[in-house]
C-alpha cells in the first residue's frame, strides 16, 4: 500500500479530519491553513511518544491513539487555549491494516472528545513513534503561563494525582489487580482526559498554570522558577484516588502523585478570593498549598514540618 493511500484510508476520511473551527484547509496540500478570530493568538505544542520509552512497544493501538492525542492536548489545556487542530507524524515499522485502523479509531475518539481536527502530518517508515503537534486559540494576552504566580496565591490541582504512574506495573503486566482497582487506574494511564474546559475557565482567574506531566514536584518547580516565587505543598492535601491507595498503599501512592508524572491534570495558582468560584464549578479542584516568597518547592508533612522531597521528574537523559 502506498503512503498516500495509507493516509487517505485511515486518517483523511476520519470524522476528525472533516475540518473544524478555524480550519481553512486540512489534509492534502503542502500545508494546512488555519484562521484565527481577530485579537486571538495561536497556541502550539509538540510532543513525541516513542515505543518502549513512553508506551509499551506491544500495546493496544486503540488506547495508544487515545493517549497520544490526550498527552498533547493537555498542553492546550495548560495555556487556557480553545482546541482547534492537530498534525500527526507517525513512524511505523510496518503498515499493518488492523493496527492502523484501531490506532486511527482511538485517535479519532480522543479528537472528537477534545474538538481537535486532524489537518495534516507525515507517515514514515522506522521504529514506532509519533509526534503530535496541537493548535489552539486564546484571546491575546489571556494565555495562562507559568510566570504569573504571586505571593499569597493558593496552589491548586485539577484532581487526583498519581494514578497513571501507579498504573505502570499494570500497564507493563508486572502486576495484576481486581477490576475495581485496575480499570480506573489503567483508564487514567491510557485515556487521560485533558482538562480543556477547566483551562479555558481559568483564563482571567488563575495567575499561573501548567499541566502535570513530569510529576507534581518537578512541574511545580517550573512554576516557581518562571514566577520567581516558592511553592509550598502540604502532602496531606494532595488528592489520591481510592484505587491507587488500594493498589500501592498510601505512602507509595503519595510518591506516585509527587514524582510519578503522566497525570495530565492542571496545576495552577489562584488568589484566595477566587478559589470558591473555581471550586463551585469544578469540585474536583483541590487546594494543596500556597505561594511564598523565595524559590523552589517545599513539601510539608501533616504536622507542618518540611520533609525532603523525593527527586522529582522524569529525566530522559
Q: Residues interacting with a copy of itself, by CB under 8 A? A: 1-3, 6, 24-25, 28-36, 38, 41-54, 75-76, 78-79, 81, 87-89, 91-92, 94-95, 119-127, 129, 131, 133, 135-136, 138, 140, 143, 145-147, 209-211, 226, 313, 315-317
Quote the least distance from Cβ 2 to a copy of itself, whole Å.
5
Q: What angle do CA 301, 303, 305 make, to 5 degrees?
A: 60
Contact 78, 266 (CB under 8 A): yes
Which residues are bridge partners to 208 per DSSP?
269
Quote the least distance from Cβ 38 to a copy of itself, whole Å.
7
Cβ proximity to a copy of itself, 8 vs 184, nearer residue: 8
Q: From residue 79, give the alpha-carbon distance in Å to each of 43, 193, 244, 267, 268.
A: 8, 15, 28, 11, 11
Cβ proximity to a copy of itself, 113 vs 128, nearer residue: 128
Quote the least distance from Cβ 304 to a copy of itself, whole Å.
31
Q: From residue 115, give the alpha-carbon distance in Å to each of 81, 109, 118, 191, 238.
A: 12, 10, 10, 15, 30
Cβ proximity to a copy of itself, 75 vs 254, nearer residue: 75
φ/ψ of residue 69, rounded to 5: -75, -35
Cβ proximity to a copy of itself, 45 vs 241, nearer residue: 45
Quote the least distance from Cβ 270 to a copy of itself, whole Å.
17
Query: Cell numbers at residue 53, please?
Result: 520509552
Quote the least distance from Cβ 31 to a copy of itself, whole Å.
4
Can you tell me the distance from the alpha carbon of 83 to that of 168, in angstroms, rounded to the nearest whole number?
Answer: 29
Write the CB contacts of 243 (distance below 8 Å, at least 6 apart in sequence): 163, 180, 181, 184, 185
Quote the least distance from Cβ 173 to a copy of itself, whole Å.
21
Can you tell me the distance from the alpha carbon of 209 to that of 207, in angstroms, rounded to the nearest whole number?
Answer: 7
Cβ proximity to a copy of itself, 253 vs 268, nearer residue: 268
Contact 293, 221 (CB under 8 A): no
Quote the least distance from Cβ 256 to a copy of itself, whole Å.
20
Cβ proximity to a copy of itself, 92 vs 248, nearer residue: 92
Cβ proximity to a copy of itself, 48 vs 182, nearer residue: 48
Amino acid at each position: 500500500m502506498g503512503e498516500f493511500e495509507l493516509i487517505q484510508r485511515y486518517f483523511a476520511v476520519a470524522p476528525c479530519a472533516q475540518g473544524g473551527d478555524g480550519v481553512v484547509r486540512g489534509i492534502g496540500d503542502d500545508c494546512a491553513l488555519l484562521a484565527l478570530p481577530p485579537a486571538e493568538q495561536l497556541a502550539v505544542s509538540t510532543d513525541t511518544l516513542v515505543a518502549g520509552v513512553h508506551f509499551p512497544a506491544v500495546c493496544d493501538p486503540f488506547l495508544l491513539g487515545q493517549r497520544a492525542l490526550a498527552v498533547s492536548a493537555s498542553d492546550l489545556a495548560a495555556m487556557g487555549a480553545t482546541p482547534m487542530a492537530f498534525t500527526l507524524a507517525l513512524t511505523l515499522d510496518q503498515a499493518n491494516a488492523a493496527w492502523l485502523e484501531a490506532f486511527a479509531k482511538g485517535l479519532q475518539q480522543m479528537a472528537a472528545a477534545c474538538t481537535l481536527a486532524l489537518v495534516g502530518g507525515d507517515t514514515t517508515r522506522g521504529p514506532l513513534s509519533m509526534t503530535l503537534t496541537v493548535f489552539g486559540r486564546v484571546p491575546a494576552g489571556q494565555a495562562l503561563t507559568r510566570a504569573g504566580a504571586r505571593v499569597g496565591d493558593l496552589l491548586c490541582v485539577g484532581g487526583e494525582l498519581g494514578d497513571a504512574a501507579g498504573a505502570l506495573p499494570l500497564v507493563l503486566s508486572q502486576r495484576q489487580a481486581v477490576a475495581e482497582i485496575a480499570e480506573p487506574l489503567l483508564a487514567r494511564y491510557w485515556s487521560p482526559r485533558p482538562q480543556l474546559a477547566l483551562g479555558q475557565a481559568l483564563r482571567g482567574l488563575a495567575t499561573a498554570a501548567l499541566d502535570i506531566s513530569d510529576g507534581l514536584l518537578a512541574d511545580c518547580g517550573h512554576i516557581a522558577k518562571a514566577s520567581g516565587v516558592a511553592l509550598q505543598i502540604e502532602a496531606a492535601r494532595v488528592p489520591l484516588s481510592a484505587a491507587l491507595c488500594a493498589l500501592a498503599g498510601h505512602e507509595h501512592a503519595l510518591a506516585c502523585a509527587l514524582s510519578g508524572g503522566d497525570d495530565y491534570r492542571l496545576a495552577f495558582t489562584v488568589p484566595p478570593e477566587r478559589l470558591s468560584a473555581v471550586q463551585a464549578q469544578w469540585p474536583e479542584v483541590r487546594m494543596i498549598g500556597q505561594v511564598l516568597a523565595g524559590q523552589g518547592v517545599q513539601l510539608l508533612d501533616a504536622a507542618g514540618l518540611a520533609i525532603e522531597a523525593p527527586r522529582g521528574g522524569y529525566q530522559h537523559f
